[in-house]
Amino acid sequence: MVRTWITDITPLLIEETYQKYYENVPLWRQEKAKRFRMAQDRARSIGAWTLWEYVKETEGLGETCVFNLSHSGNYALCSFSDEPGQMVGCDVEMIGDMKLSVARRFFCEEEYRHIVEIPDSEKQKEMFYRYWVLKESFMKATRKGMALDTRTYAFCWDEQGIPKLLKKPREYPEKYYCREYADAGNRARIAVCSTDADIDPGIHVLVL
């Protein structure tokens, strides 16, 4: 099964709290966090690894477990599969400004048309971010990341409202499954993509 955990890293913006968690992550993660200039970026980096360590211990996962991390705004996200050999990608994005030029450049034509044909501007913005996190989660699941052309794969939704790949590159013949989530108040969109068909419909929360 694929399970997803999220945490609000806001407490890590307090220096005393940040230092407590900072001292408990590996040295390489400390060095990575120190390279960020902004306090929020450092908090997200430490928060994401803290979340993974908590999930690993809580779920009883081994060192070889496949997992993926993401962070945006005040959130850090972690998804994993407990099935050997499966691929997992996840993404969280805070809903903010939307530029249709970004969708025009990086989304497939059918995705772009879907967005621009929505008459309500707020719903249009939400759909933009739904596509965004789905596309990010797929590229991370393939492990190709930004090297994967985002216009070579497209998403749609089935009759039950579950997202699915409409098309994908031939070099990824495996079947990929997706799940969407939203935080309280719909301030952020979250997506998980995996070759593991069993994706938990809920999302778990760690309070720092």
- The pLDDT, as a whole number, for residue 63 is 81
Average pLDDT score, the chain: 96
Distance CA 200, CA 147 (A): 29
Burial of 83 (0-12, 13-18, 19+ CB in 10 A): middle
Characterize the bridge pairing of strands 75-81 and 66-72: antiparallel
Break the chain into its structural domains and give their ranges.
2-206
One-character DSSP codes across 19-41: HHHHTTS-HHHHHHHHT-SSHHH
- Assigned superfamily of 2-206: 4'-phosphopantetheinyl transferase domain (3.90.470.20)
Q: What is the CA radius of gyration of the chain?
A: 17
Distance CA 19, CA 97 (A): 33
Residues 79, 65 contacting (CB under 8 angstroms) = no
Number of residues assigned to the chain: 208
- The pLDDT, as a whole number, for residue 10 is 97
Across the 208 residues of the chain, what is the mean pLDDT of every consecutive 10-residue run?
98 97 97 96 98 97 92 97 95 94 96 97 96 98 94 96 96 97 93 98 96
Q: Is 173 helix (H, G, I), strand (E, B) or coil?
A: coil
Per-residue model confidence as pLDDT tens digits over 99-108? 899 999 999 9
